[in-house]
């Protein structure tokens, strides 16, 4: 029997802390729903005390998710723990995840505390958290640069105080597999109580070793791995969940461990995260990169065509790829659409289905074949829709190779029409400048990408626009068979997200 490894997903906490990956409440809920569909064991939904927005996201996710434990991060202080508990207390299975730094460099320069003080505070705070919640995870930040004997003593103390999971992070991605194995074995040797609780690791990828270190930790006795979808996270990121899960599945023969993750949901989770953050995965990224299952070279292609086995150690179907059924067309009715929505795992009210169906009809009219991925794009975009402060009414673009492009863009702002004209370096630049004039605040265009959702001449164009306002980046997407229309919608969508985020703070009017 394989040993079962718990998957602790921190996409919404450590992942979200990485530049350009911030998500709003609706996006976090959508991501949490997908993590639940994948059956991750624990969702770390955020760091409740860090901002009112984070608190609200943790609380809402705790109240939405039923099948996974929901955790909030908290420093080892009463204020943090109170706030974390307030956010997760309504979850079916709440977890408080408290941490303190344990390496000499962190204790001396960041905490300005002695090891004895760190020990006392940790034990006291685990006891404090335990009064609220039975499930307490304790993390020793920068563990891999800490003294293993000190860690063993500390872990013994916090286990006695009630910690149910001990997490050993490689916070700066510094360790290497053999060293990490020895380090964990040494801690275990000096802390027999570790046998009675969950032993977890949390590896960062600064040296590209996060997954290798996580796998070797299983050999050393870990039964929980902390990771993120697409490996997003601070700096070089965290261990990528899809890589760990598929390594365990594919090499069960040597690793003798498995997870409860529904692997066929992996590709969808990866796409959803990319759609939300606008951060694409590199094409050669293991498991979820565009080329991960592509066999381009002549030799490989020849081999694959005859029999896939020589080059395929796992199938694309096992991670949810190649399930591009042609599903619906312009003659499909609402019943078929509703059934498809259910089959794809989305929960929608009748009103939402009706709205999405009207949009589907517009696409189906323009496109011969509508794939699952088109529907998935359409629905998740609807589900994550923020209030539409601005809406696109109409636009006229004049462009050519011998004239300067001009755009007349007509939007509504809070239902009132507003129009602006602008010249630009090409039709999209002209349209963006006209929108910028309408919005009237100092926005910087950070990034613009255009891709197609599926293949073919009639594929949906998927535009991603990232704008920066007051130091924060907002990404918007637009979908249309017309790329200018997709781009305009993407820009307006990013502006609406900016308003959604900032309106309460009264930074824009
Ligand atoms: O990397 C780290 O040490 C962390 C802890 C807070 C678990 O993210
Ligand atoms: Zn981390």
Same domain, 315 and 251: no
Query: Residues 284-301: what's their mean pLDDT?
Result: 79
Residue 506 has pLDDT above 80, yes or no: no
| Each residue's pLDDT tens digit, 125-149 | 999 999 999 999 999 999 999 999 9
Atom of ligand 1 nearest to the CA of 226: 7
Angle at 48 between CA 43 and CA 51, to 5 degrees: 130
Q: How far apart are the CA of 169 and the centre of ligand 2, in A?
A: 7
Residue 77 — very low, low, confident or very high, per pLDDT cuts 50/70/90? very high
- CA of 157 from ligand 2 middle (Å) equals 23
Shared domain check, 120 and 36: yes
pLDDT at 509 over 50: no
Going from the Cα of 173 to the center of ligand 2, the distance in angstroms, rounded, reads: 9
Ligand 1 atom nearest residue 204's Cα: 1
Residue 10 belongs to domain with CATH number: 3.20.20.70
Do 150 and 45 lie in one domain? The reply is yes
Looking at the CA of residue 169, tell me the nearest atom of ligand 1: 3
Among the residue ranges 169-178, 194-203, 342-351, the one predicted with the least confidence is 342-351
Model confidence at 163, in pLDDT bands (50, 70, 90)?
very high
pLDDT digits (tens, 9 = 90+) for 210-248: 999 999 999 999 999 999 999 999 999 999 999 999 999
Question: CA–CA separation, 421 vs 316, rounded Å?
Answer: 48
- How many angstroms separate the CA atoms of 259 and 246, rounded? 9
C-alpha 157 to ligand 1 mean position (Å): 20
The ligand whose atoms approach the alpha carbon of 44 most closely is 1
204 CA from centroid of ligand 2 (Å): 6
Whether the CB of 99 sits within 6 Å of ligand 1: yes
pLDDT above 70: residue 119: yes
Q: Which atom of ligand 1 is nearest to the CA of 99?
A: 6
Q: How far is the CA of 235 from the centre of ligand 2 (A)?
A: 10
| Ligand 1 touching residue 234 (CB < 6 A) | no
Q: What is the pTM of this model?
A: 0.88
pLDDT bucket at 373, cuts 50 / 70 / 90: confident
429 in ligand 1 pocket by Cβ < 6 Å?
A: no
Which atom from ligand 1 is nearest to the alpha carbon of 73? 6
Of the ligands numbered here, which is closest to the C-alpha atom of 97?
A: 1
Q: What Rg value do the Cα atoms of the chain yield, rounded?
A: 25
Q: Is 174 in the pocket of ligand 1 (CB under 6 A)?
A: no
Structural domain includes residue 106: yes
Q: What φ, ψ does residue 224 adopt, rounded to 5°?
A: -140, 135
State the Cα–Cα distance between residues 432 and 488, nearest whole angstrom: 7
Q: Summarize pLDDT for 29-46 with one digit per residue, the tens.
A: 999 999 999 999 999 999
Q: Shortest CA distance to 398 belongs to which of 484, 490, 463, 479?
A: 484
Q: Are residues 60 and 157 in the same domain?
A: yes
Tell whether 287 is covered by a domain. no
pLDDT exceeds 60 at position 310: yes
Residue 381 Cα to ligand 2 middle (Å): 29
Is residue 283 included in any domain, yes or no? no
Which protein residue's CA is at the shortest distance from atom 7 of ligand 1? 139
pLDDT tens, 478-499?
Answer: 888 889 999 999 999 999 999 9
Question: Percentage of the chain surpassing pLDDT 70?
Answer: 94
More confident residue, 374 or 393: 393
Does the residue 469 lie in any domain? yes
Q: Does 459 or 170 have the greater pLDDT score?
A: 170
**DSSP states of 10-40:** -IIIIITTSTT----HHHHHHHHHHHHHHT-
Give percent of the chain with pLDDT exceeding 90.
74
Atom of ligand 1 nearest to the CA of 139: 7
Work out the pLDDT band at 62, boundaries 50, 70, 90: very high
Q: Looking at the structure, do residues 235 and 304 belong to the same domain, yes or no?
A: no
Question: Does the beta carbon of 265 sit less than 6 angstroms from any atom of ligand 1?
Answer: no
Ligand closest to CA 227: 2
Quote the domain boundaries for residue 494.
Answer: 390-508
* Domain presence at residue 47: yes
Judged against a pLDDT cut of 50, whether residue 463 lies above it is answered with yes
Q: What is the pLDDT of residue 330?
A: 82
Give the per-residue pLDDT at 296.
55
Could you tell me if 373 and 335 lie in one domain? yes
Q: Based on the domain organization, do 361 and 398 belong to the same domain?
A: no
Residue 139 Cβ < 6 Å to ligand 1? yes
Does the pLDDT value for residue 326 go beyond 60? no
Closest by CA to 85, choosing from 65, 100, 70, 66, is 70
The answer, yes or no, to whether residue 288 has pLDDT greater than 90, is: yes
Provide the pLDDT for residue 51: 94
Residue 473 vs residue 179, higher pLDDT: 179
Residues 369, 407, single domain; the answer is no
DSSP state of 425: S
Structure confidence at residue 305 (pLDDT): 59
Exposed e or buried b for every residue in 145-168, given b needs 16+ CB within 10 A? bbebebbbebbbbbbebbbbbbbb
Helix, strand or coil for residue 349? coil
Same domain, yes or no, for 366 and 425? Answer: no
Ligand number nearest CA of 237 is 2
Of 260 and 362, which is predicted with more confidence? 260
Atom 8 of ligand 1: nearest residue by CA position: 14
Share the mean pLDDT of the chain. 92
Q: Is there an atom of ligand 1 within 6 Å of 30 CB? A: no
Does residue 288 sit within a domain? Answer: no
Contact 140, 102 (CB under 8 A): yes
Residue 425 CA, ligand 1 centroid: distance in Å: 45
What is the b/e burial string over 394-427, where b = at least 16 CB atoms within 10 angstroms of the residue's CB? ebebebeeeeebbbbbebebeeeebebebebeeb
304 has pLDDT over 90: no
Query: Which of 71, 138, 169 to probe ligand 1 with, by most ligand atoms within 8 A of CB?
Result: 169
Whether 165 is in the pocket of ligand 1, judged by its Cβ within 6 Å, is no
157, 300: one domain: no
pLDDT band at 507 (very low <50, low <70, confident <90, very high): very low
Stated length of the chain:
509
Number of domains, the chain: 4
Q: How far is the CA of 72 from the centre of ligand 2 (A)?
A: 13
Structural domain contains residue 158: yes
Same domain membership, residue 301 and residue 435: no
Residues 398 and 302 grouped into a single domain: no
* 146 C-beta closer than 6 A to ligand 1: no
The pLDDT of residue 238 is: 98
The 8 Å CB, 24+ separation contacts for 445-450 are 446/473, 447/278, 447/475, 448/487, 449/278, 449/280, 450/483, 450/486, 450/487
Ligand minimally distant from the alpha carbon of residue 167: 1
DSSP letters, 43-65, are EEEE-GGG-HHHHHHHHHHHHH-
Q: Which ligand is nearest to the CA of 232?
A: 2
The pLDDT value recorded for residue 505 is: 54
Q: What is the pLDDT of residue 116?
A: 98
Ligand 1: residue of 17, 76, 99, 151 to mutate (most ligand atoms within 8 A of CB) is 99
| Structural domain contains residue 284 | no
């Amino acid at each position: 029997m394989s040993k079962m490894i718990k998957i602790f997903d921190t996409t919404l906490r450590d992942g979200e802390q990485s530049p350009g990956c911030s998500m709003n409440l609706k996006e976090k809920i959508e991501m949490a729903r997908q993590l639940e569909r994948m059956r991750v064991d624990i969702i770390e939904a955020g760091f409740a005390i860090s901002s009112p927005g984070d608190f609200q996201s943790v609380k809402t996710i705790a109240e939405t998710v039923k099948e996974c434990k929901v955790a909030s991060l908290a420093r080892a202080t009463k204020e943090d723990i109170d706030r974390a508990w307030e956010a997760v207390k309504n979850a079916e299975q709440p977890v408080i995840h408290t941490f303190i730094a344990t390496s000499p460099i962190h204790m001396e320069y960041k905490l300005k505390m002695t090891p004895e003080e760190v020990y006392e505070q940790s034990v006291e705070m685990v006891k404090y958290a335990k009064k609220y919640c039975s499930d307490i995870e304790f993390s020793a930040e920068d563990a891999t640069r800490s003294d293993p004997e000190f860690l063993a003593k500390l872990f013994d103390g916090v286990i006695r105080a009630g910690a149910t999971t001990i997490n050993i992070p490689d916070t700066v991605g510094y360790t290497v597999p053999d060293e990490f194995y020895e380090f964990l074995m040494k801690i275990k040797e000096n802390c027999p109580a570790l046998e009675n609780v969950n032993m977890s690791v949390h590896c960062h990828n600064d040296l590209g070793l996060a997954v290798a270190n996580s796998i070797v930790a299983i050999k050393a006795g870990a039964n929980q791995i902390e990771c993120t979808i697409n490996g997003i996270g601070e700096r070089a990121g965290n261990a990528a969940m899809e890589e760990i899960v598929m390594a365990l599945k594919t090499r069960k023969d040597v690793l003798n461990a498995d997870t409860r993750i529904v692997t066929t949901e992996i590709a969808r989770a990866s796409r959803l995260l990319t759609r939300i953050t606008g951060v694409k995965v590199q094409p050669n990224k293991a498991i979820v990169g565009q080329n991960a299952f592509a066999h381009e070279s002549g030799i490989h292609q020849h081999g694959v065509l005859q029999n896939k086995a020589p080059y395929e150690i796992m199938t694309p179907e096992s991670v949810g790829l190649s399930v591009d059924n042609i599903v619906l067309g312009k003659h499909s009715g609402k019943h078929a659409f509703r059934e498809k929505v259910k089959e794809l795992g989305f929960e929608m009210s009748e009103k939402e289905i009706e709205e999405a169906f009207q949009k589907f009809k517009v696409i189906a009219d323009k496109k011969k074949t509508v794939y699952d991925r088109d529907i998935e794009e359409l629905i998740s975009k609807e589900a994550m829709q923020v209030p539409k402060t601005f809406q696109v009414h109409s636009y006229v673009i004049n462009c050519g190779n011998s004239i300067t492009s001009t755009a007349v863009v007509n939007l509504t702002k809070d239902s009132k029409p507003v129009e602006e004209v602008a010249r630009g370096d090409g039709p999209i630049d002209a349209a963006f400048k006209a929108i910028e004039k309408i919005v009237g605040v100092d926005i910087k265009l950070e990034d613009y990408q255009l891709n197609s959702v599926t293949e073919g001449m009639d594929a949906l164009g998927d535009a991603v626009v990232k704008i920066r306002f007051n130091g924060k980046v907002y990404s918007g997407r637009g979908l249309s068979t017309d790329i200018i229309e997709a781009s305009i919608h993407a820009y307006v969508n990013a502006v609406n997200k900016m308003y959604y985020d900032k309106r309460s703070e009264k930074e824009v009017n």
